[in-house]
Structure 1
């Protein structure tokens, strides 16, 4: 009888090798699609690096914005300081202007001039060659004293305690003084706040005051000058309209 060929039973390895190969191929394909051509192990590291770079860019932008805001704040601060300085300067000038205009009280060392009519003795009559007008204080006498005080740079001038300003009019009616709506009889007291020595020099240099002093010697008028350690003058209380009206009335 012919001998029959026995079929060999496949071994376990013969079956497992193709299966393992197929599984390996499947895993490789899956890994390739998931990674999309990138390194899977480096994926998280790459993403973290990108986030850090984005964060750095954002921080840099914020720092630039902060620097710009700081520049703007400094500019506004400088402008505000400039405005405050200008306001302070204007306020100081305004205060000085008020004092110069006589609108605020003033005090300090100064000088007082007292003017009075001649004292006639009973029965003596008038001095030789004199008239009644020669024996009284005139508007020009008072105005001459005031002008000398202003020329000396006085900080303030007052007559009979009333503060004068640049528009104040000194008006004499007979032997009375009309000042800012009030009438005063002699003696007239003129007071200034300023350097007493300089005021004396200006009084001595005034032609009007020289005429007054000559009348003092001839007719016995009173002209007395006294230094003051401390003088206080009130603020001007009149109105400009009153002064202009008084000037018009005098004219």
Structure 2
């Protein structure tokens, strides 16, 4: 027993010296708690950084979607304006109007009542009257002799030939328009200029023929800009 007591005393003395008045077990527990707290703080910081990065990525994604939507909208508007401007092809129902000179009698004899050749030929004012009526009716697109018209296209006659976009055409002149056939027919029927053309057609045998088409294909405009505009009066040549 004295030996056991002596050993125990020695151990207690050593522990007291090592601890220097502190609780050894309590100190180890405190260090572990601090480490866990540091790890938790680090994880929290990383989670916050991740959340911020995710928010930034989402914001950039939303901006990209907005830009893509704006680009798509602008492209759609551009395509619609290309069609309206005549710079892209167009297919749809519409009207075909054919204009032609009157037939002359033997040896070029004029029809009864005609005073000159001006009475029996198609003039640029006749072509322009039909085109203006079609545009006024809201036609989506118009062509003459298969050539697409735009806002600055001029209809010019030289004698009884038609000069259009640098090319010359002889009658019959074929005018095609895509749009509401009801509205275009109505406008042709009520146009004063077209009424004058119909009067000459009835009196001297000019051709004024209107046909409805289930499908008309208009090409894109391929000419150069021409800022000249045709007159609308009929008498006095070309």
TM range (shorter): 0.7 to 0.9
Query: Displacement of 1:53 after TM fit?
Result: 1.0
Query: Displacement of 1:29 after TM fit?
Result: 4.6
Query: Displacement of 1:22 after TM fit?
Result: 8.3
**TM-score if structure 2 supplies the norm length?**
0.87
Query: Displacement of 1:38 after TM fit?
Result: 3.0
1:238 aligns with 2:223: yes
Distance 1:169 1:23, change over 3 A: same
| Structure with greater contact order relative to length (CA < 8 Å, sep ≥ 6) | 2
Q: Within 5 Å, which residues of 2 pair with 1:79-90?
A: 79-90=63-74
CA RMSD of aligned residues (A): 2.6
Query: Displacement of 1:26 after TM fit?
Result: 4.5
The residue number in structure 2 matching 1:3 is none
Query: Displacement of 1:125 after TM fit?
Result: 3.5
Structure 1: 4+ residue segments shifted above 4 A: 19-26
170-179 or 194-203, larger mean C-alpha shift: 194-203
CA distance in 1: counterparts of 2:33 and 2:8, whole angstroms: 37
Q: Within 5 Å, which residues of 2 pair with 1:80-229?
A: 80-122=64-106, 124-128=109-113, 130-229=115-214
Distance 1:24 1:77, change over 3 A: closer
Deviations 1:180-212 (A, max 9, x none): 111111110000111111110111121211111
Question: How many correspondences in the alignment?
Answer: 230
Deviations 1:138-181 (A, max 9, x none): 11110111111112222211101111111110001111100011
Distance 1:249 1:221, change over 3 A: closer
Maintained 8 Å contact 2:154/2:229: no
Maintained 8 Å contact 1:168/1:180: yes
Deviations 1:25-68 (A, max 9, x none): 852551333xxx43112232222111111111111111111111
CA distance in 1: counterparts of 2:8 and 2:102, whole angstroms: 147
| Runs of at least 5 residues in structure 2 that lack an aligned partner in the other structure | 232-238
Maintained 8 Å contact 1:156/1:192: yes
| Runs of at least 5 residues in structure 1 that lack an aligned partner in the other structure | 1-12
CA distance in 2: counterparts of 1:101 and 1:223, whole angstroms: 28
Maintained 8 Å contact 2:100/2:207: yes
Maintained 8 Å contact 1:139/1:172: yes
Query: Displacement of 1:126 after TM fit?
Result: 4.5
Maintained 8 Å contact 1:156/1:193: yes
Whose Rg is larger? 1
CA distance in 1: counterparts of 2:45 and 2:138, whole angstroms: 64
User: Secondary structure at 2:83's aligned position in 1?
Assistant: helix
Query: Displacement of 1:83 after TM fit?
Result: 0.5
- Picking from 55, 74, 80, the partner of 2:58 is 74
Distance 1:24 1:65, change over 3 A: closer
User: Secondary structure at 1:42's aligned position in 2?
Assistant: helix
